[in-house]
Amino acid sequence: MPIVLNNWKFRECSEGNGDNSPWYPARSDTIGNQVHLDLLYNGLIPDPFIDDHEKNVQWVGRTNWEYCSVFQNSDCFRLLVIEGLDTFAKVYVNDQLVLESANSFRKYVLDIGACLNSSANILRIAFTSSLHEGRRLERIHGLSPCWNGETSRLHVRKPQYHYGWDWGPMLLTCGPWKPISLVSGTYVKDFFVRYSLNKDLTSVDLSIEVDLDLADNDKGTDLEVSIIDPNGQLVYVYEVSDIKMFNRLHYTIDMPHLWNPRGHGQQALYTFELKVNSLKLATRRAGFRKVQLVQDKDTIGRTFYFKINNKPIFVMGSNWIPAHSFTSILTCEDYRKWLQLAIDGNHNLVRVWGGGIYESDSFYSICDEQGILVWQDLMFACGMYPAYSEFVDNVKEELTDQLKRLRQYSSIVIIAGNNEDYQVAEANGFEFGIDKPYDKFPARLLYEEVFPEIVSRLTNDVPYIRSSPYSDALTKTRDTTIGDLHQWDVWHGNQEPYQNWDKLSGRFVSEFGMLSFPSLQTLDKAITKKEELYPESYLVEYHNKAGGSERRLATYVLENFALPSKFDLDHWQYITQVMQADCLSLAYRNWRRKWNNYECGGAVVWQLNDCWPATSWSIVDFHKTPKLAYYSIKRECAPIGIACRRNKVRIRDPEEPEDLSEQTPLHDFSNYKYSLDIWAFSNREQDNVSLSVSFYSSDTGELQSTITKSGIYLKNNEICNILNKHNSESLDGSTIVQAVLKNDKGEIIHRSSDWPQPIKHLNWKMYNEDLRLGYKVMQGKIKFSTNKPVKSVCISMRNMDMHVFSDNGIDLFPNDNQEVEIEGLEPDDSTIRIQHLK
């Protein structure tokens, strides 16, 4: 079996130092080594996540480094397996050069038997600064435009976010960031279960591919592949005598168990075990599913939605960036906690964004187990990449290596060639129609010819698109009628009011977002100078890499909410999270409604997570503490639920010209009428549910009227319009609306509310004078009650990241006591604080 090397040491080896630099021990508790972590481990740099230390460690990325490991050859090793080197590296075994690498995403299997001594052997890896090497390549091949980071990154095949992004620091690390191991026996180069389901999914034909690097003592021996079903029952044992380097085995399974997305069936995984000469060498799991990306013509343009096993799936998900600037520190448990947050938040898809990394096997394995769909970008982002021959050859090998690793995962249902590269080209005036040459945008060769061929050849029919977003070769990248859409006209672009999400919809919205502050505890951990803990301080702003964000954040807050009673970090953090929660929940609410007729096939928020402690678009901060938006999205994405929206229609004066343009709000003296839409959604059939709608005065909080409707039937996987333009004498622009859905036993299934917009116009001081908001802290939960509607009730406590909340930021209403479950909560916890809008 492979022996993983973990006894590394490292040193600086820049010019002028020669061999005089001291060696330091590298960390041995991570899956690989990255120089910043090893420097931090030895106390040689400050923590770049704390205060403004990022700027004090920039010298690290401009320096050359060397790693070394000494090993004994007691097992007669013959192969060196390198999972990843970041980035420009020369590998020496006993001072013999065995590899020159220029790609963080490549895997290498090297025959080093002839280089080894019978006793001690020295493996040495010299890393050249990616910053300097990238600039050298740029001088040779030319400068191209990009967004985020410096332009030289386009020539360097390393994680692009290391150069700094609008949510993360510039930390140009290097090192053997993935495991490096030694092999003495037979090595499994590839073990892939290729399969084809028949049309009605009742039979699956298997073609099992086994590619081996055979040790001499295994040549001519037996190979055995066992197939085990999801229940642990042995299905078949395939035996081959006199095995070859490459073997292909065929088998058919009738009535197979199918792999389904979460909420749509079981995640059935078959196990395939490979033995050579009776020794188990590899195990693979495979889930059988049929994936279709449906892009049919319709009256709008073209649809864009997924069918899994012939069933249309509405996607509700989030974008995933690397969860740390130094990903070798992440464990399987870290990935499990992050993805459990996605699951608990009712997400069914994560998009692995193209400026990070091809994620770890742990990440994809958990997605397979839990039924989380994966949208996989290839690692190209926000730039016009080159296509000179050496670069093309390099990325061909990269993609081949990565797809051979990733193609086994059932959760991956789409591969996109890049993130926003066509938008960069478009922004710089370059056209990319089918009749346009590649010379102005050379990477089209990769996205339109090289990548689709490799994806088609290597995977189990995973759909490929050239870019995200991408419409087609004849239209712009921001077309809302075809393809996927990055909808940034809220926050970026036109900076539209977020109440306009309905008209900003696309066929599939793969990015949209809103900024907010992280938890106070996350900021407190990142900023040691406590006098800097106020909203506009230097260090608070330093931990926000989004240009112009202070102005934009203030605009969105002040357009919608009254100024906090105190402008301190506590109140400002709360109000930015309330604003983000309202903004993003409205997007999901409006776009999910468009699922009927596939007008919108999904919404994927930017972003789930952070790579360092920061103010950003994330809905869960760096320390895995959910923001209020996480919970508001969770409610909108519930398997069964309701949503409501009031409609505002201007009553036209008969004497007005028909083409009279709309007035600005301050000069609009028109009368308006209001109506209410309420709709339900369900992932399964639900019969005999009932609806109750209550209307409250925003002046007094008193109940004005109630309407009910019973005997409602919810169809599986459809939107049910319960009330359409319903008129009520109690409904106007200032009414507070609560809708409650109950099952046939009278139990509450889901709640929804609609508050006046903008909510800042409520007279909170007068409204809250006689408010009686009560709560009782109990074992594992808090129980709330109120005498009038309360907006965005937020629970905070010490060690927020150590507790799991069932909900937060909730709206409360009279005669509807709500409970929030909190794992580990003790009744005598004195650190609990309750905030609400006021």
Which residues are catalytically annotated?
Answer: 420
Q: Rounded to whole angstroms, how far apart are CA atoms 594 and 645?
A: 14
Beta bridge partners of 180: 82
**For residue 824, how many other CB atoms are within 10 A of its CB?**
11
| Phi/psi of residue 639, nearest 5 degrees | -60, -35
Q: In residues, how long is the chain?
A: 838
**CA 448, CA 606: separation in Å to the nearest integer?**
26
What's the 3-state SS for 663-679?
CCHHHCCCEEEEEEEEE
Which structure tokens are listed for 661? Answer: 């343009």
Q: Which amino acid is at 268?
A: A
The 10 Å CB-count burial string (b at 16+, else e) for 740-764 is bbbeeeeeebbbbbbbbbebeebeb
Helices (H) and strands (E) in the chain, counts: 15, 43
User: Rounded CA gap, 649 and 662, in Å?
Assistant: 12
Name the residue type at position 464.
Y
Residues ≥6 apart with Cβ < 8 Å to 242 = 220, 221
Joined together, the tokens standing for residue 823 give 């794992």
> Cα angle at 504 between 546 and 646, to 5 degrees?
110
Q: Which helix (H) or strand (E) holds 423?
A: helix 421-427
Structure tokens at 815: 């005669």
The CB density around residue 564, as the number of other CB atoms within 10 Å, is 18
Q: Which residue has the tokens 């409602």?
A: 712
Residues 561 and 758: beta-carbon distance below 8 Å? yes
Residue 286 identity (one-letter amino acid)? A
Please list the residues that pair with 677 across neighbouring strands.
645
Walk across the sheet containing 818-821 and list its strands: 774-778, 781-785, 818-821
In order of 7, 11, 35, 36, 404, the CA distances from 67 in angstroms are 10, 7, 9, 13, 28
Question: Could you tell me which of 814, 738, 736, 808 has the C-alpha nearest to residue 771?
Answer: 814
How far is C-alpha 268 from the geometric centre of its chain's CA atoms?
24
Rounded CA-CA distance 185/215 in Å is 5
Q: Which of 593, 684, 600, 604 is nearest to 643 (CA)?
A: 593
